[in-house]
Structure 1
Amino acid sequence: MSSKMAASNVLMLKKAGDKRQEQALLVAFKKADSDGDGKLTVDEYFRILQDHSINTTKEEISNLMEIADKTKDGYITRAEFMGEASAQTKTQEMVEKAERAFNIIDRNHDGYITKSEMLQTTKKLTEKQIEAVFERNDRDGDGKLSKEEFTEMMCREKR
């Protein structure tokens, strides 16, 4: 068997394992969510652990939930339980990545990206493509991209 085929088989097994683990977590969440409201309270979390003979206290569950409760609403949602990042977290990460990229491309650190700076930094884009980027995203028409214009461009949903 070739090494490419072996690697492919390993990836397929991992993906199948991940899918089974995800399904098991979803079943566990649905079992714990006794009132079916899509979120777990301390009592629901505590009860499901007790049902599985996991000795813990409500205080320990409360502390655990405080860490897992990313939205700080006092509940563990399905997304939090499954380890999915919230839309707010994803947006913040995108903004931070865009700002880091902006700081790299803005070579003279004047707070703007010029076509020349973009051309020097992004070797994968042609002059014509950079012209199109500026035409679409330079909202105030000053011939350069501000941090806000650049961040908005980078965070916009791809079509």
Structure 2
Amino acid sequence: MARFFNKNNCVAGPHEEARRRREVRRYFDRADNNKDGKLTKEEWFRVLNSSGVPTTMEEVEEFFETMDRDFDGRLSFEEFMGEESTIEKLFKSMDKNGDGVVTKEEFNSICKNLSSDQVKMAFQKFDKTGDDKLDYREFCQMINKKQEEQGE
């Protein structure tokens, strides 16, 4: 969870931390013009500059490179706060042995509603290294593509 500090540079208490989180969330939601729950580079650029924080698009792109942990080009509130994203949690739950990759077997153990042919096709499409495993980036590309197809 993101840590907030009070004016004395001490870690804020839980109530103050919750209040600040709500306040940041309000600003985040206000910046999210299309209300999709994620900030685009353009939305972040616009809100910074309109708030009196002169920022270049290059600076925004650098910020996104650091914070966009699911590689979809947008920032969820969790990413914005430096917290674990939904995709990271899903990946960790599928990576049963914690080796940093998801095998077909691990994938099948979680996604019981998919046929082995569907899993095989997904791995053929997104396993760029051809090792029958999805690393985190490949996994994100697969999830992002699926969400894109569903219009999310």
- TM norm structure 2: 0.50
Greater Rg over alpha carbons, structure: 1
More helix by share: 1
